[in-house]
Structure 1
C-alpha cells in the first residue's frame, strides 16, 4: 500500500503520510513562495530571482542556491545555534538532490551565454519541528518553485557594442520552470524488522537507522543519505530504496495535482491532502 488521500482513512499504515496542508503565494515580495504543514512540522519557503554571472564550469546554465534557517521557536533544540547543523545538512542534501540534469533544466535560466544567468535563491524557514523535516522541506520547496515567476528578458545587440539586457516592464510577462521532475524527499526509518515513511518525533527516537531518498517525478533516485548510527543490511537497503521510489512517485503526482488545482482556482487558498 502506498500513500492514500482517502478522507476515510483512520488508521495510518507504515507507508502512509500524515495530513498535509499547503498554501502558495504568501510572500508578496518574493518571486514564488509556499507554506507547507505536515502534521506538526511547518515550513515557509520564499524564492527570489536575480541576475548574476554563471559559474565558470557551467557557463550555459543558471543555478539554484538553498538557504535554511531553523527558527528558535520551532523546538527547544534550536535555541542558540542548535539548529545550524541540521540546517546545513538539509541544505547540502537539497543541493545534491538537484544536481542531476533530469530534475530541472538549468539551461532555461541562461540569459547571455557565459555572461548572465538567473539565480534562484531559495530561502527556507523552519517554523515548527514535528518530525520528518526533510520531506516537509522538499515538498514546500517544490511548491514554491512551481509558483516562481521569472521575468522575461530580451538581449539587444548594438553594432560594435556589448549586448544590452532589456527587462520586460509587464509584470505578467514572465515564464516558469518545468518542475515536474523536481525531486521530493522520502524518509524511511527502520524500527525492528520493519520500516516506515513520514516518521513522527517519537518514531524517530525509536529508530537507530534510516535513509532519506530524493525521488524525481519520473521515479528516478537522484540522491540518498543514510541517517542514524545503526547499520542497514544490504537487502533491507535495496527494499527501502525501491519503496522510496514508489512512494516518491505517488507523492510527486499528488502534489503536482494539488498545485494545478490551486492554480486553476486562481487564488491563494489552503489545500489539504494525504488524508
Structure 2
C-alpha cells in the first residue's frame, strides 16, 4: 500500500503516460493512480457541454502532465488537462494519445519525428530590408514558423526616469490565419506574453544601448517602435521572434541629426535628408532566445508545434555574442530540477553562439550585396 494525498491505494504497474493506464487512472510519478484516491479541488467532468465530450480536469494542481484548453467549459477559457482517451488541446490544436506517445518515445531514444536528434536546430532563412518604408526590417522562415519584423523611429521626449536614454516600444501580432491558437481571446494573451518577453530581452542588462538613442538629454530622443507579425506558426516562436528582431535592429538606419542653437537659447535640430547619411543601431550585446523543451525525461532544442503540445516544461534562455545569459523564463506545468536547468543553460550557450555566428555571417553577406547593388546604381546614374 502507498499513501497519495492522504488516501491509501495499491499501486498498479509502472507507466510513462496516461495512455498506459485505464480510464479511471492517471499516470503519476511513474505509476497508475486511480482518480478516486486524488482529493482536492480536481474533478472529472465528462458531460458533453463541459469539455467537448472529453474527460477533463481543471488545472489547479501540478500533478497533471498535459495542458490544454476546453472549448466549451462552464467558464470559457479555463485551463484543463486531459485523461486517457482524450486528445491534448492547445486552443484548437490537438494531438492524439498515440501521437503523444510516439513523440515521447522518439525523444527518449534520441530520434525525433522529423529525423533530428534532440539537440539539432532546424535550418532557417533570414532576409533583411523586406519593408521598403521601414527604418529597418527582417524576415525569418524557420521551417513552418514565419515571422516578419519592422522597425519605425520617430523623435520624442524622453521619460523623466531616463532623460538621457531613448525609448523602445514592442508589439507582437499573431495572425489568426497562422494557427487556430491565435483566434479569439487566446491571441490577446499570446501577443502580450510574446511582446513582454521580447521587451525584457532587449532592455535588461543594457542589451540594447538606449543611451545612444539620446539626441538632446532631457529634451529629444529616438523612440523605436518594433512591430512583429507572426504569419505562420510551426513551433519555437520565441526564438524566431528574437532572431528576426535582432536582424531588423542590425538593418535599422537612423538619419543624422544636427543640433542647432536657436533663439532665446533654445536648442533645435535638423534631420538630414541624405539617404547615405545615417547612423546604425549597435547589436553587439543584443541577445537571442534559445528555447529548450522538456518532454518526458529528456529535453529538445528548437521544438516543433507537435512537440510543444507534448511538453512538460520549457526554458527560454537569452544568450548574447559574449556567451552571457541575459534572461531566463520558465514555462509549462512541470518543475525542473537544478541539474536539468544547468544542462539546459550549457546547451543554450553552445547553440546560441552557433546561431549568432551563422546569423552575423548572413547579415554581413547581405549588407555587402546591398552595397554592391547601391554602387552599381550610382555608376549607372
TM norm. shorter chain > 0.5: yes
Report the number of matched residues.
260
1:145 to 249, 266, 272: 249
Considering Cα pairs closer than 8 Å and 6+ residues apart, tell me whether 1 or 2 has the greater RCO. 1
Query: Which consecutive aligned stretches of 4+ in structure 1 deviate over 4 angstroms post-superposition?
Result: none
After the TM superposition, which residues 206-225 of structure 1 pair with which residues of structure 2 at under 5 Å, given as runs? 206-225=310-329
- Which residue in 1 is equivalent to 2:159? 55
Does 2:368 correspond to 1:264? yes
After superposition, what is the alpha-carbon deviation per residue over 1:178-229, rounded to whole angstroms, capped at 9, x for unaligned?
A: 1122110000001222211100011112211010111111111111110100
Q: Whole-Å Cα distance in 2 between the matches of residues 27 and 227 of structure 1?
A: 33
Aligned partners of 1:98 and 1:222 also within 8 Å: no
After superposition, what is the alpha-carbon deviation per residue over 1:212-258, rounded to whole angstroms, capped at 9, x for unaligned?
A: 11111111111111010011111111211122122112211211111
Aligned partners of 2:296 and 2:312 also within 8 Å: no
After superposition, what is the alpha-carbon deviation per residue over 1:75-128, rounded to whole angstroms, capped at 9, x for unaligned?
A: 112123321111111111111112234422111100000111001100000000
Q: Secondary structure at the match of 2:137?
A: strand
- Which residue in 2 is equivalent to 1:3? none
Q: Secondary structure at the match of 1:35?
A: strand
Q: Which stretch has the larger CA shift, 77-86 or 36-45?
A: 77-86
Q: Secondary structure at the match of 1:99?
A: helix
Q: Whole-Å Cα distance in 1 between the matches of residues 262 and 203 of structure 2?
A: 36
After the TM superposition, which residues 37-48 of structure 1 pair with which residues of structure 2 at under 5 Å, given as runs? 37-48=141-152
Q: Which stretch has the larger CA shift, 14-23 or 34-43?
A: 14-23
Q: Which stretch has the larger CA shift, 239-248 or 183-192?
A: 239-248
Does 2:286 correspond to 1:182? yes
- Which residue in 2 is equivalent to 1:7? none
Q: Secondary structure at the match of 1:73?
A: coil
Aligned partners of 2:259 and 2:268 also within 8 Å: yes
1:252 to 356, 359, 366: 356
- Which residue in 2 is equivalent to 1:35? 139
Q: Whole-Å Cα distance in 1 between the matches of residues 284 and 142 of structure 2?
A: 21
Structure ID, larger Rg: 2
- Which residue in 2 is equivalent to 1:5? none
Q: Whole-Å Cα distance in 2 between the matches of residues 158 and 80 of structure 1?
A: 52
- Which residue in 2 is equivalent to 1:86? 190
Q: Whole-Å Cα distance in 1 between the matches of residues 306 and 355 of structure 2?
A: 23
What stretches of structure 1 of length at least 5 have no aligned partner? 1-9, 269-275
Q: Whole-Å Cα distance in 1 between the matches of residues 263 and 154 of structure 2?
A: 27
After the TM superposition, which residues 115-126 of structure 1 pair with which residues of structure 2 at under 5 Å, given as runs? 115-126=219-230
Compute the TM-score of the two structures, normalised by the length of structure 1. 0.90
Root-mean-square deviation (CA, aligned residues, Å) is 1.8
- Which residue in 2 is equivalent to 1:271? none
1:193 to 290, 297, 306: 297
Compute the TM-score of the two structures, normalised by the length of structure 2. 0.66
1:132 to 236, 244, 254: 236
Q: 1:159: how far off?
A: 5.6
Q: Whole-Å Cα distance in 2 between the matches of residues 13 and 54 of structure 1?
A: 48
What stretches of structure 2 of length at least 5 have no aligned partner? 1-113, 373-381
